[in-house]
């Protein structure tokens, strides 16, 4: 069965500093990996995805993520955090080995950027 782990419930970072939100996954086949963000009282917003190709993927709002197959990780990063980045971040995986389109989500990480 596929699974996603986001080991940190909350990440605190000062504005202007780099941020990392961690995600590891487990699948039987090859993974499709996604990051979504949820701002207060809003739905899930797509940030970026890894399907194939370059291990470093760039997404919206200056975010990027690096796919590491050996470590089964897909950490979300941003070089310089903004207060407006404060939100709930979800990592998700789809197992290409199953043929199912369902996404499996992590429990979410709350990012707090302090001014």
Partner 1 sequence: EAGVTQFPSHSVIEKGQTVTLRCDPISGHDNLYWYRRVMGKEIKFLLHFVKESKQDESGMPNNRFLAERTGGTYSTLKVQPAELEDSGVYFCASSLGTGVVQETQYFGPGTRLLVL
Does position 82 interact with partner 1 (CB under 8 A)? The reply is no
Beta strand segments in the chain, E = 3-5, 10-14, 19-21, 24-26, 31-38, 44-50, 56-58, 64-68, 73-78, 87-95, 104-105, 109-114
Does position 71 interact with partner 1 (CB under 8 A)? The reply is no
Does position 101 interact with partner 1 (CB under 8 A)? The reply is yes
Does position 25 interact with partner 1 (CB under 8 A)? The reply is no
Q: What is the 3-state secondary structure (H, E, C) of 16-27?
A: CCCEEECCEEEC
| Residue selected from 43, 54, 70, 115 as contacting partner 1 according to rule CB under 8 A | 43
Does position 30 interact with partner 1 (CB under 8 A)? The reply is no
Does position 56 interact with partner 1 (CB under 8 A)? The reply is no
Of 12-20, 37-45, 58-66, 70-78, the window that binds partner 1 (rule: CB under 8 A) is 37-45
Does position 58 interact with partner 1 (CB under 8 A)? The reply is no
Question: Closest separation between CB of residue 56 and partner 1, Å?
Answer: 16
| Range 51-58, long-range pairs (CB < 8 A, 24+ positions) | none
Binding site for partner 1 (CB under 8 A): 32, 34, 36, 42-46, 49, 51-52, 90, 92, 94, 100-108
């Amino acid at each position: 069965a596929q699974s996603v782990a986001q080991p940190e419930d909350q990440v605190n970072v000062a504005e202007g500093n780099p941020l990392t939100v961690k995600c590891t996954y487990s699948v039987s086949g090859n993974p499709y990996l996604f990051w979504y963000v949820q701002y207060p009282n809003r739905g899930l917003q797509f940030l970026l995805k890894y399907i194939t190709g370059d291990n470093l993927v760039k997404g919206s709002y200056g975010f990027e993520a690096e796919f590491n197959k050996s470590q089964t990780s897909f950490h979300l990063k941003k070089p310089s955090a903004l207060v407006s980045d404060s939100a709930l971040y979800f990592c998700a995986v789809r197992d290409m080995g199953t043929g199912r389109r369902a996404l499996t989500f992590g429990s979410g990480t709350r990012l707090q950027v302090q001014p």
